[in-house]
Amino acid sequence: MRKFSLISTIWAISLLFIACEPQEMDDYGMGKMVSESDATFSVTPKADKPNVVIFQNTSSLPGVAVWNLGNGSKGKGQSVSGEYPFAGTYEVAMTLYTQGGSATKKFSLVVAEDDLSLLEHPLYTALTGGAEKLEGKTWVFDQYNKGHFGVGPVDDVAPSWWAAAPNDKLECSLYKNIFTFKQVGVELNWTNEGYVYTNGAGLPGLAALGYNKTVEPPAGDFDVEFSPAANYTFSLNTTDSTLTLSDGAFFGHYAGSSVYEIISLTETEMYLKVRSIAESGNGWWYRFV
């Protein structure tokens, strides 16, 4: 059986007091700072699949637990699971938001061996074309069909406020963003023609990252000058069907998050939703082919 070594000594467990992000402040107001002893959690590898780890908030105070699993995946809630196909050391962090403030506790999770069976899931094959397809699989917006881009309440199952008509965003940068996923190395290649798309709510977030050169295209809203990095990776959590892009990458439309919920994923179509950070309470939907 594969074994984990959890390094949780003083040097690897640190307490950071940070300001709440807007979505956490909606749940708990600020008050007296929470102490380190109030933030605790358990770490439990699955008995039949030890490279899948369950993280459980066991804190004594009620609050909202927000997780960074160190593998590109993030989560929110009392319990989350992380998948680690490759051996290595992963820095995992839980931030607890309470009425007394917030605290972040970190530890190092050491995965002793690879478990490449985690990459054999049908979602990985549909997304990447499989391990044998070394060139990967390329996805573009389904621009010729209605509903390839839309917005609505974040907890809805489909966009109800607005959905794009065919070629609705032809005269902006959105359709120029192209994404290739490779299973070997869990690599992501993102290309565009030097711009990404957003609305007014997304401009401050991009400006904070240093991207503040904008134009107003005929399709409306804003194109922002943005050249993707040469290399990204991705994490696909098959337990909760989420797709996370590394290093702040996003699917050509900026909403402030790199974590996408997989509504459906087949060999020919990928339908995703993102919970907007730029507009709290909004969800954005994207369909790719």
Lowest mean pLDDT among 21-25, 223-227, 275-279: 21-25
4-115, CATH topology level: Immunoglobulin-like (2.60.40)
Residue 36, pLDDT > 80, answer: no
What per-residue confidence (pLDDT) applies to 73?
Answer: 83
Average pLDDT, the chain: 88
Bridge pairing between strands 242-245 and 74-76: unpaired
pLDDT band at 8 (very low <50, low <70, confident <90, very high): very low
What proportion of the chain, given as a percentage, has pLDDT over 90?
Answer: 74
pLDDT band at 31 (very low <50, low <70, confident <90, very high): low
Q: What is the mean pLDDT of residues 25-33?
A: 51
pLDDT band at 95 (very low <50, low <70, confident <90, very high): very high
pLDDT band at 54 (very low <50, low <70, confident <90, very high): very high
What per-residue confidence (pLDDT) applies to 22?
Answer: 40
pTM recorded for the entire structure: 0.75
Please give the CATH number for the structural domain made up of 121-288: 2.40.128
Lowest mean pLDDT among 8-22, 187-201, 246-260: 8-22
Residue 118, pLDDT > 70, answer: yes
Q: For 201, phi and psi rounded to 5 degrees?
A: -70, -25
CB contact at 8 A, 116 and 169 = no
CA distance 202 to 251: 14
CA distance 75 to 77: 7
Q: What is the mean pLDDT of residues 221-229?
A: 98
Bridge pairing between strands 4-7 and 242-245: unpaired
Q: What is the mean pLDDT of residues 61-83?
A: 90
- Torsional sign, CA 96, 242, 85, 256: negative
What per-residue confidence (pLDDT) applies to 20?
Answer: 37
Q: What is the mean pLDDT of residues 263-282?
A: 97
Task: Give me the residue spans of the domains in the chain.
Answer: 4-115, 121-288
Q: Which helix (H) or strand (E) holds 203?
A: helix 203-208
For residue range 137-194, what is the model confidence (pLDDT) as tens digits? 999 999 999 999 999 999 999 999 999 999 999 999 999 999 999 998 899 999 999 9
- Spatial neighbors of 230 by CB under 8 A, at least 6 apart, are none
Q: Which of 125, 124, 118, 168 is nearest to 146 (CA)?
A: 168
Residues across the chain: 289
